[in-house]
């Protein structure tokens, strides 16, 4: 029996500097003008933002998810952009890289480590975490305390287990949209899990980028499933995480959402919640959020549940412990 399942959204990582979903594109635009970042990084940000502005016009009033959906959807791209979809392929890679780079750069050293150490100290061995985020803030905190965490990936499918930390024992953290520190072999399907943020290095569309290969000679590729409705195929890469997430949601005595806005773009996750928690009548549901707008979304998704809503956000909630 899982005692508490924590579901972490962008608001969980915001105190560390990570942007919310509706802030990400604006942060990318600002970083493209920031002369303090690396030459290659800035040049790539300028290239992708200028290319998108030529195709779509002013970007200020658009969102990261909206643009990514256009780049991923053949019908949308060819209808709106009026060009062959093949041109979207490189833009997809650069735009996903830009998002990961922005998240990683803005978090930086993470001067709020103590908040996340407090969170980890709250956890019991019977708890589990489902994260919608790409960053590795929670993993860092788990490593500081336990030197291990459970990715949900069976040990036999993990490549080159590290001597310094273990990723198949301890508190479970399921990254159902992929993670900055996961790579998967496109041949044998095995996973490489690292302590560092390796995904945006592999995706980097400039000389600093590199290719990584499995012991079977297959290519190791990042597993990033954007919060976009056009992602059904990509979900196959993270099906283990989704299956275990469903199990945890069906069996948890308590579910705590932290900084999760229930974005309409995350269509598949909302279905998962409706078909698990939504079909139970004995689940204690709590929501930690700094936005009152999300309260209505939770009430609509779980009409038969009593929801305890803490409206002052994660930082104030965890600071009370």
DSSP 135-146: S-HHHHHHHHHH
Clarify whether residues 311 and 167 are in a common domain: yes
Q: What is the pLDDT at residue 228?
A: 58
Mean pLDDT of 30-57: 93
Closest CA to 165 of 141, 194, 187: 194
Closest CA to 113 of 131, 138, 92, 88: 138
Clarify whether residues 81 and 124 are in a common domain: no
Clarify whether residues 39 and 164 are in a common domain: no
Q: At 232, is the pLDDT very low, low, confident or very high (cuts 50, 70, 90)?
A: very low
> Using CA atoms, how far apart are residues 320 and 229, in angstroms rounded to an integer?
37
Closest CA to 171 of 126, 221, 220, 237: 126
Clarify whether residues 127 and 236 are in a common domain: yes
Clarify whether residues 44 and 174 are in a common domain: no
Clarify whether residues 57 and 165 are in a common domain: no
Q: What is the pLDDT at residue 233?
A: 44
Mean pLDDT of 20-46: 93
Domain, as residue range, for 67? 24-107
Q: What are 95-141's pLDDT values in tens digits?
A: 989 999 999 999 988 889 999 999 999 999 999 999 999 999 999 99
Q: Is residue 260 part of a domain?
A: yes
Q: Is residue 201 part of a domain?
A: no
Mean pLDDT of 241-261: 94
Mean pLDDT of 40-50: 94
271 pLDDT exceeds 50?
yes
Q: Is residue 184 part of a domain?
A: no
Q: At 49, is the pLDDT very low, low, confident or very high (cuts 50, 70, 90)?
A: very high
Clarify whether residues 46 and 155 are in a common domain: no
Of 107, 130, 156, the position where a domain reaches its end is 107
> Using CA atoms, how far apart are residues 5 and 170, in angstroms rounded to an integer?
14
166 pLDDT exceeds 80?
no
Q: What are 273-299's pLDDT values in tens digits?
A: 999 999 988 789 999 998 877 888 999
* Domains in the chain, number: 2
Clarify whether residues 248 and 281 are in a common domain: yes
Q: Is residue 215 part of a domain?
A: no
Clarify whether residues 156 and 294 are in a common domain: yes
Q: What is the pLDDT at residue 208?
A: 74
Tokens at residue 287, please? Answer: 């929501």
Q: Is residue 121 part of a domain?
A: yes
Q: Is residue 33 part of a domain?
A: yes
Q: Is residue 147 part of a domain?
A: yes
Q: Is residue 193 part of a domain?
A: no
Q: At 169, is the pLDDT very low, low, confident or very high (cuts 50, 70, 90)?
A: confident
CB neighbours of residue 133 within 10 Å: 22
């Amino acid at each position: 029996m899982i005692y508490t399942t924590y579901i972490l959204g962008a608001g969980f990582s915001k105190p560390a500097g990570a942007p919310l979903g509706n802030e990400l594109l604006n942060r990318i635009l600002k970083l493209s003008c920031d002369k303090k970042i690396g030459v290659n990084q800035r040049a790539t940000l300028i290239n992708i933002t200028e290319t998108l502005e030529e195709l779509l016009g002013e970007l200020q009033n658009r969102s990261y998810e909206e643009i990514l959906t256009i780049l991923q959807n053949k019908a949308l791209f060819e209808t709106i952009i009026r060009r062959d979809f093949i041109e979207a392929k490189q833009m997809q890679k650069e735009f996903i890289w830009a998002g990961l780079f922005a998240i990683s750069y803005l978090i930086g050293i993470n001067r709020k480590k103590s908040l996340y150490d407090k969170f980890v100290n709250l956890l019991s061995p019977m708890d589990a975490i489902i994260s919608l985020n790409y960053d590795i803030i929670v993993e860092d905190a788990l490593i500081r305390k336990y030197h291990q965490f459970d990715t949900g990936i069976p040990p036999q499918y993990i490549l080159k287990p590290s001597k310094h930390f273990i990723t198949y024992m301890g508190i479970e953290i399921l990254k159902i949209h992929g993670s900055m520190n996961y790579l998967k072999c496109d041949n044998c399907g095995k996973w490489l899990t690292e302590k560092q943020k390796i995904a945006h290095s592999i995706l980097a569309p400039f000389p600093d980028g590199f290719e990584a290969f499995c012991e079977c000679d297959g290519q190791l590729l990042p597993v990033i499933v954007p919060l976009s409705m056009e992602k059904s195929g990509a979900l196959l890469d993270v099906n283990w995480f989704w299956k275990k997430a469903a199990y945890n949601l069906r069996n948890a005595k308590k579910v705590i959402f932290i900084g999760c806005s229930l974005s309409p773009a995350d269509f598949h996750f909302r279905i998962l919640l409706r078909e698990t928690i939504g079909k139970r009548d004995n689940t204690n549901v709590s929501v930690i959020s700094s936005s009152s707008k999300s309260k209505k979304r939770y009430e609509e998704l779980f009409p038969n549940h009593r929801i305890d809503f803490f409206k002052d956000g994660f930082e104030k909630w965890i600071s009370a412990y």
